[in-house]
Amino acid sequence: MTSDDLLWPRTASLHRYLANNEDVRDWNIQGLPADAFSTENGVLVTRGTRWPLMIDPQEQANKWVRNMEKANGLKLITLKQSDYLRTLENAIQFGQPVLMQEVLQELDPSLEPIMSRAVVKVGNRSIIKLGDKEVDYNPDFKFYLTTKLANPHYTPEISTKATIVNFCVKQQGLEDQLLGTVVRKERPELEMQKNDLVVAVAAGKRKLVELEDKILFMLAHAEGSLLDNEELILTLQTSKTTSMDVTNQLHIAEQTEKKIDAAREGYRPSAYRASILYFLLSDLARVDPMYQFSLDAYVALFNTSLDKSARSDDLQERIKSLNEFHTYFVYRSTCRALFEAHKLLFSFQICAKILQGAGKMVMQEYDFFLRGGQVFDKSSQPTNPCSDWISETAWDHITELDKLPGFRNILGSFESSAREWREW
């Protein structure tokens, strides 16, 4: 078993090979969500060979890029600015990062040389042509693009020149983010231990790499017999001892991380409840486009629930009180912005989603309630015994309802009642 096997799960993952724990930790500090989906997006943005175009309706990528490149003099531009090309020229020349915000479904043709990286070598100079102007190209230049559109349709020309990265938050990803929020509030010592663990493991791995590099350098420049090189032999012995120490530390770290993750998992029900409530708010835009809810505002609402809900030393009681308080708090806060006709729909959706998550709802019955019964093959359908007052649509509903587990033999009871009614 290698040191990497102790740090990463054995399942294949993108960030296992293209990022290390220390990089991921820095990204999380800079505002990148800590879930696996966001981490993989971070790898695509930082390791890609093409400039990233980030689909970012919740502006999580925007916040992360701003914090990550702040120390490098990040320039913010939009296509609406009249002087954005001048800002780009200066950034390309001096090697500064640029973040272009609020991109729509088309890009300005003037960005074509930048997106395709049309850099030409002229002597010792690297030159890129923007319009009629030739600009010296600094290899430290970075270009990021973000759009608030949730489901844009980009042309093949744009798709082949940019790495399109979807930062739209998913339920599992949001659940992991909110789990981290809960644990930081409820058990801050667990988050501190997890961060300290990452730092310690990263330091041990870095020390091993330094020793390996030193040994390779000494082997490459050794003269005469290797057995006579005392410094090399001592370095090899030190490397072996350090490797054993680091391996032992990694074993301890693995056990500690399992305990920390097990303790964090106890708070997952509250994170799950909060995540389904957010996506309920997000789905309200389908009812009326006016209903738009910010993720940052929702996280602030969740933090308020953590502060105001009833405390308890018993974990299950604490989660129960938190879920009840947050559910009612979200309903009360959201209803202020809803039309009266939509409040009952919203409360029904909350109830339905909670029951679905708890496994207490028969989905076949719920689908029937939403869509009714649809009969595609009329040849196998029983004959309507009361066609004079039961419409064909109503009879389709009755026959399909009879197929559901909780309504078996309803058709037989109905036909018996129909015969009695006719005889009477």
Determine the pLDDT at residue 6.
40
Determine the pLDDT at residue 418.
61
Q: 65-124, pLDDT tens digit by residue?
A: 999 999 999 999 999 888 899 999 999 999 999 999 999 988 888 899 999 999 998 888
Which is nearest to 263 in space by CA: 179, 358, 174?
A: 179
> Helices (H) and strands (E) in the chain — how many of each?
18, 8
| CA 97 to chain CA centroid, nearest Å | 24
248, burial (CB in 10 Å: exposed 0-12, middle 13-18, buried 19+): exposed
Tell me the mean pLDDT in the region 245-259: 76
Determine the pLDDT at residue 414.
64
Most confident of 92-101, 192-201, 284-293: 92-101
Q: For the stretch 112-147, what's the b/e string if a residue is b when 16 or more beta carbons lie within 10 angstroms of its beta carbon?
A: ebbbeeeeeeeeeeeebebeeeebebeeebbbbbbb
| H/E segment holding residue 78 | strand 75-78
User: Measured at the alpha carbon of residue 153, what is the angle toward residues 295 and 56, in degrees to the nearest 5?
Assistant: 20
Q: 371-424, pLDDT tens digit by residue?
A: 887 777 777 777 777 777 778 888 788 778 877 776 666 666 666 666 665 555
